Amino acid sequence: MAHTLTPLHRLAKRLHPHLRGWMAEKLALAVYMAHGWLPVYSHRRQLAQTDLTLAKGTTIILVEVKYRTSQGRGHLAVRPEQKQRLDRQMRLLAGKYPGYTLRLELFLVFPHKPFWQRISHPYTA
Protein backbone atom coordinates (compact mmCIF):
# COMPACT_ATOMS: atom_id res chain seq x y z
CA MET A 1 0.00 0.00 0.00
CA ALA A 2 1.43 3.37 -1.00
CA HIS A 3 2.11 5.93 1.71
CA THR A 4 0.20 9.14 1.08
CA LEU A 5 1.10 12.47 2.61
CA THR A 6 -1.44 14.38 4.65
CA PRO A 7 -2.57 17.72 3.18
CA LEU A 8 -0.68 19.54 5.96
CA HIS A 9 2.50 17.60 5.16
CA ARG A 10 2.18 18.42 1.44
CA LEU A 11 1.71 22.10 2.27
CA ALA A 12 4.65 22.12 4.68
CA LYS A 13 6.95 20.61 2.05
CA ARG A 14 6.23 23.58 -0.24
CA LEU A 15 7.04 26.22 2.40
CA HIS A 16 10.49 27.72 2.76
CA PRO A 17 12.37 26.19 5.74
CA HIS A 18 12.60 29.59 7.47
CA LEU A 19 8.85 30.03 7.20
CA ARG A 20 8.27 26.53 8.60
CA GLY A 21 10.58 27.40 11.51
CA TRP A 22 8.83 30.70 12.15
CA MET A 23 5.43 28.97 12.16
CA ALA A 24 6.76 26.27 14.51
CA GLU A 25 7.99 28.96 16.94
CA LYS A 26 4.59 30.69 16.91
CA LEU A 27 2.84 27.38 17.60
CA ALA A 28 5.24 26.64 20.47
CA LEU A 29 4.70 30.11 21.95
CA ALA A 30 0.91 29.65 21.79
CA VAL A 31 1.10 26.23 23.49
CA TYR A 32 3.35 27.49 26.30
CA MET A 33 1.27 30.65 26.83
CA ALA A 34 -1.88 28.51 27.06
CA HIS A 35 -0.16 26.75 29.97
CA GLY A 36 0.67 30.01 31.76
CA TRP A 37 4.22 30.64 30.50
CA LEU A 38 5.11 34.20 29.47
CA PRO A 39 7.89 35.32 27.10
CA VAL A 40 10.83 37.06 28.78
CA TYR A 41 12.42 39.99 26.97
CA SER A 42 15.22 42.33 27.94
CA HIS A 43 15.30 45.75 26.24
CA ARG A 44 12.94 44.54 23.49
CA ARG A 45 15.21 41.61 22.70
CA GLN A 46 15.05 37.96 23.57
CA LEU A 47 16.80 37.43 26.92
CA ALA A 48 18.80 34.45 25.68
CA GLN A 49 19.89 33.21 22.26
CA THR A 50 17.28 30.50 22.07
CA ASP A 51 14.08 30.30 20.09
CA LEU A 52 11.98 31.05 23.19
CA THR A 53 12.77 32.17 26.72
CA LEU A 54 9.73 31.80 28.96
CA ALA A 55 8.98 32.29 32.65
CA LYS A 56 6.33 31.12 35.08
CA GLY A 57 6.76 31.98 38.75
CA THR A 58 10.42 31.46 39.64
CA THR A 59 11.12 29.10 36.74
CA ILE A 60 12.72 30.13 33.45
CA ILE A 61 12.84 27.74 30.53
CA LEU A 62 14.91 28.01 27.39
CA VAL A 63 13.05 26.40 24.50
CA GLU A 64 14.69 25.25 21.29
CA VAL A 65 12.00 24.78 18.61
CA LYS A 66 12.50 22.38 15.70
CA TYR A 67 10.27 21.44 12.77
CA ARG A 68 10.67 17.79 11.78
CA THR A 69 8.89 15.68 9.18
CA SER A 70 8.88 12.59 11.42
CA GLN A 71 8.78 11.94 15.14
CA GLY A 72 11.23 9.03 15.13
CA ARG A 73 14.53 10.80 15.84
CA GLY A 74 13.29 14.25 16.80
CA HIS A 75 15.13 14.19 20.12
CA LEU A 76 18.41 14.17 18.15
CA ALA A 77 17.55 17.57 16.62
CA VAL A 78 19.94 19.52 18.88
CA ARG A 79 23.48 19.32 17.50
CA PRO A 80 26.58 19.35 19.78
CA GLU A 81 27.40 23.00 18.98
CA GLN A 82 23.82 23.97 19.83
CA LYS A 83 24.11 22.09 23.13
CA GLN A 84 27.25 24.09 23.96
CA ARG A 85 25.49 27.37 23.10
CA LEU A 86 22.48 26.43 25.22
CA ASP A 87 24.74 25.44 28.14
CA ARG A 88 26.45 28.86 27.93
CA GLN A 89 23.06 30.57 27.95
CA MET A 90 21.98 28.55 30.98
CA ARG A 91 25.12 29.58 32.89
CA LEU A 92 24.64 33.23 31.89
CA LEU A 93 21.03 33.26 33.05
CA ALA A 94 21.91 31.41 36.28
CA GLY A 95 24.25 34.30 37.10
CA LYS A 96 21.63 36.94 36.30
CA TYR A 97 18.77 35.18 38.12
CA PRO A 98 20.24 33.29 41.10
CA GLY A 99 16.87 32.65 42.76
CA TYR A 100 15.29 31.09 39.67
CA THR A 101 15.11 27.50 38.52
CA LEU A 102 16.40 27.16 34.95
CA ARG A 103 15.37 24.43 32.57
CA LEU A 104 15.95 23.53 28.94
CA GLU A 105 13.23 22.10 26.70
CA LEU A 106 13.01 20.94 23.12
CA PHE A 107 9.72 21.60 21.31
CA LEU A 108 9.23 19.54 18.16
CA VAL A 109 6.60 20.33 15.53
CA PHE A 110 5.40 17.75 12.99
CA PRO A 111 3.09 17.99 9.95
CA HIS A 112 1.11 14.97 11.26
CA LYS A 113 -0.25 13.68 14.56
CA PRO A 114 0.77 14.28 17.35
CA PHE A 115 1.68 17.63 15.65
CA TRP A 116 3.94 18.68 18.55
CA GLN A 117 5.97 17.19 21.39
CA ARG A 118 7.76 18.70 24.39
CA ILE A 119 10.99 17.06 25.58
CA SER A 120 12.10 18.34 28.99
CA HIS A 121 15.62 16.92 29.02
CA PRO A 122 16.71 16.77 25.37
CA TYR A 123 20.28 15.74 26.20
CA THR A 124 19.21 12.50 27.85
CA ALA A 125 16.34 11.54 25.53
Q: Has residue 52 been placed in a domain?
A: yes
Question: What is the CATH classification number for the domain harbouring 39?
Answer: 3.40.1350.10
H-run or E-run covering 10: helix 7-14
Put simply, whether the predicted model's pTM sits higher than 0.85 gets the answer no
pLDDT per residue over 8-31, tens digit each? 555 556 666 667 888 889 999 999
Nearest 10 degrees: Cα torsion 77, 83, 89, 95 = 130
The number of domains in the chain is 1
Taking residues 55-73, what's their average pLDDT? 86
Q: Has residue 89 been placed in a domain?
A: yes
Instruction: Please give the Cα distance from 120 to 9 (Å, whole number).
Output: 26
- Phi–psi pair at 63, nearest 5 degrees: -115, 125
**Range in 24-28, 35-39, 92-96, 111-115 the model is least confident about:** 111-115
Residue 65 clears pLDDT 70, i.e. is over it: yes
Q: Has residue 124 been placed in a domain?
A: no
Q: Has residue 125 been placed in a domain?
A: no
Residue 21 has what pLDDT? 80
What's the mean per-residue pLDDT of the chain? 79
Question: Looking at per-residue confidence, does 42 or 101 come out higher?
Answer: 101
Q: Where in the sequence is the domain holding 14, given as residue range(s)? A: 7-119
Residue 56 has what pLDDT? 96
Q: Measured between alpha carbons, how far is residue 28 from residues 31, 33, 62, 63, 108 in Å? A: 5, 9, 12, 9, 8
